[in-house]
Amino acid sequence: MHCLLRATIITFVSSGLSVISGILIFIEYSLNLHHDRLATMFVFMTIGDFMYAVGYIVGDMRYYDLYEEIDNVTSTNCSILSDDASNDLLCKGQSFVTTYASLVSFAWTCNLLITLYLYYIGHHRPSRLREWIMHIVGWILPGIIVISAVSAGALGEDSAEYSGPWCWVRDFPSKGERILWMLFAGKFWEILTYIITFVMFVLCMKRTSCGRNENRMPEYQDDVEIPRFCYAWIILMVTRCFGTARFFLYVSDVQVSDKANEWLLNLQSFGDGSLAFVNFIFYLFTNPPFVRKYWNRILAWNRNGDRTMLIL
């Protein structure tokens, strides 16, 4: 099996898990009568992750159809060139959706961590201006960025040279121009998100370790709801670090073996598509009240055989 086809299958599996996880997060949120601001921002972040996963599935189906004879290809560099693919409307549409979705996810991850820190220092109720700024940064700014990229013809097929079995920034003749658009359409904002969220995480942990969380947030019934959102930056970095590593290898012209590149591609294919899935596992199943509630219902069902007890 060619490495690009293998990456396509991996991306399809991880993205499918994220789509299912995103739906479950939306259902859990809609059935929960207690909607605090952090949970709402987490759902906004999940919307971006959900759109991202759906776009990847579309990109996978396109790649599978485009390279259905891929097993006959003898190249081992995980890169297949296609002169006809760069102008594919489906490719550009998928790139538009996934680029916008990833920027939305980055923006709301930053909003989440910044809001959490402001809660820690006593700003429990955001002003109307701050809410407007968060929504502009979370929804409108990503739209401006991706529309600018589309207008300049920067999105399209890259022949999996520096991404994976999906479309993103097209294959420019000039490498410098290609790198600038890669930064503008994602990587700069991704790295900036790492920095902002890490700083907010450190500040939040500092407030907690110094015992200065006396300003308990009135919206929360359980303090465990607060710190678990701090780790959003870790989940983002762990899932997307392989794509970032491939980006830096590409920028610095570092040559790695075909085997190492294939491993990085496979890890990126799983990580990039799995963000909503990993968030679902972490945020829901590390929530003790949630786990206790369903564990008690499972025990009651085992004792009584009443299947309706498992229904929310």
| pLDDT of 161 | 66
Instruction: Tell me the mean pLDDT in the region 253-275.
Output: 90
- Count of domains forming the chain: 1
Is pLDDT at 206 greater than 60 in this prediction?
yes
Q: Is residue 116 one of the residues assigned to a domain?
A: yes
Residue 141 identity (one-letter amino acid): L
Which tens digit of pLDDT belongs to each residue from 73-100? 444 456 554 545 555 788 899 999 999 9
Distance CA 208, CA 266 (A): 38
Is pLDDT at 67 greater than 70 in this prediction?
no
Q: Is residue 200 one of the residues assigned to a domain?
A: yes
Q: CB under 8 Å, gap of 24 or more: what pairs does 122-127 form?
A: 122/215, 124/215, 124/217, 124/218, 124/219, 126/37
Measured CA to CA in angstroms, residue 295 lies from 182, 309, 312 at distances of: 46, 11, 13
pTM: 0.86
Q: Is residue 293 one of the residues assigned to a domain?
A: no
Q: Is residue 241 one of the residues assigned to a domain?
A: yes
Q: Is residue 308 one of the residues assigned to a domain?
A: no
Residue 99 near residue 272 (C-beta atoms within 8 A): no
Instruction: Tell me the mean pLDDT in the region 171-181.
Output: 90
Which tens digit of pLDDT belongs to each residue from 115-140? 988 888 877 677 888 899 999 999 99
Q: Which residue range is the domain that position 215 belongs to?
A: 3-287
Is pLDDT at 271 greater than 90 in this prediction?
yes
Q: Is residue 151 one of the residues assigned to a domain?
A: yes
Residue 161 near residue 7 (C-beta atoms within 8 A): no
**What angle is formed at CA 76 by the lines to CA 73 and CA 82, rounded to 5 degrees?**
55
Secondary structure of 38-68 in HEC code, one letter for each residue: HHHHHHHHHHHHHHHHHHHHHHHHHHHHHCC
Percent of the chain with pLDDT over 70: 76
| pLDDT of 77 | 55
Specify the higher pLDDT residue, 223 or 284: 284
Q: State the residue for tokens 């990229």.
A: 149
Q: Is residue 304 one of the residues assigned to a domain?
A: no
Q: Is residue 253 one of the residues assigned to a domain?
A: yes
| pLDDT of 173 | 83
Q: Identify the CATH number of the domain in which residue 156 sits.
A: 1.20.1070.10
